[in-house]
Amino acid sequence: MGGTAVNGSPETTPSATDRLNGLTSWDADWSGLRVVVTGIGVSGFSAADTLIELGAKVVVVDAATTPKAKAQADTLKIVGAVDVLLGEDAVSALPLIDDSLPELVVTSPGWRPDQALLAAAKRKHIPVWGDVELAWRLRIREGRKTADWLTITGTNGKTTTVGMTESMLQAAGLKAIAVGNVGTPILDALRDPVEYDAFAVELSSFQLHWSHSLSPVASVCLNVAEDHVDWHGSYASYLADKAKVYENTQKAAVYNAEQIETERMVENADVVEGCRAIGFTTNTPAISMLGVVDGLLVDRAFIAERKDSAAELAAMSDLGPVAPRHMVANALAAAALVRAYGIEPAAVKQGLVNYLPGAHRIQVVAKQNEVLWINDSKATNPHAASAALSSFQQVVWIAGGLSKGVNYDDLVKEHAPRLKAVVLIGTDTEALEGSLQRHAPDVPVIAQAKGDTEKVQTVAGNAASPIYGEAIMAQAVASAAQLATPGDTVLMAPAAASMDQFSSYAHRGDAFVQAVRELVEGQAPTTEE
> Among 486, 340, 356, which residue's Cα sits nearest to residue 420?
486
List alpha helices for 197-315, DSSP H: 205-209, 229-232, 235-243, 260-268
Distance of CA 504 to the CA centre of its chain: 13
Please name the amino acid found at residue 161.
Answer: T
> Which run of H or E residues covers position 105?
strand 104-107
Q: Is 180 annotated as a binding residue?
A: no
Q: What is 338-368 written as a DSSP string?
A: HHHTT--HHHHHHHHHH--PPTTSSEEEEEE
Which residues are bridge partners to 446 per DSSP? Answer: 423
Whether 484 and 396 have beta carbons less than 8 Å apart is answered as: yes
N-term to C-term CA, the chain: 66
Known binder of ligand: residue 159? yes
Query: What is the C-alpha to C-alpha distance for residues 129 and 135, in angstroms, rounded to an integer?
Result: 10
Instruction: Give the C-alpha separation, 502 to 510, whole Å.
Output: 10
Q: Is 13 annotated as a binding residue?
A: no
Alpha-carbon dihedral sign for residues 462, 179, 269, 256: negative
| Category of 204 on φ-ψ map: left (φ > 0), alpha (ψ -120 to 50) or beta | beta
Distances (CA, A) of 419 to 189, 291, 491: 44, 31, 10
3-state secondary structure 166-218: HHHHHHCCCCEEEEECCCCCHHHHHCCCCCCCEEEEECCHHHHHCCCCCCCCE
Q: CA 13, CA 231: separation in Å to the nearest integer? A: 30
Question: Is 158 annotated as ligand-binding?
Answer: yes
Rounded Cα–Cα distance for residues 445 and 241 (Å)? 36
The answer to whether the beta carbons of residues 428 and 500 sit under 8 Å apart is yes
Q: Is 154 annotated as a binding residue?
A: yes
**Which segments are annotated as binding site?**
154-160
**Which segments are annotated as binding site for ATP?**
154-160
